[in-house]
Amino acid sequence: MDIMIAVALVLRPDGRTLLVRKAGTHAFQQPGGRIDAGEAAAAALCRELAEETGLRVDAGQMRALGRFRARAANEPGRQVVADLFLLHLPEETEIVPAPRSPRHAGSIRHATTSPSRR
Query: Can you give the pLDDT at residue 70?
Result: 96
- Sorted by where each starts, the structural domains of the chain and their CATH numbers stand as 3-111 (3.90.79.10)
Query: Can you give the pLDDT at residue 24?
Result: 77
Question: What backbone phi and psi angles, to 5 degrees, belong to 61?
Answer: -80, -15
The Cα 17–Cα 13 span in angstroms is 9
- Helix (H/G/I), strand (E/B), else coil: 41: helix
pLDDT digits (tens, 9 = 90+) for 65-105: 999 999 998 889 999 999 999 999 987 776 665 555 555 55
Query: Can you give the pLDDT at residue 105?
Result: 53
Confirm if 52 and 44 have CB atoms less than 8 A apart.
no
pLDDT digits (tens, 9 = 90+) for 28-59: 899 999 999 999 999 999 999 998 888 899 99
| Residue 95 amino acid letter | I
pTM of the model: 0.81
The Cα 118–Cα 111 span in angstroms is 16
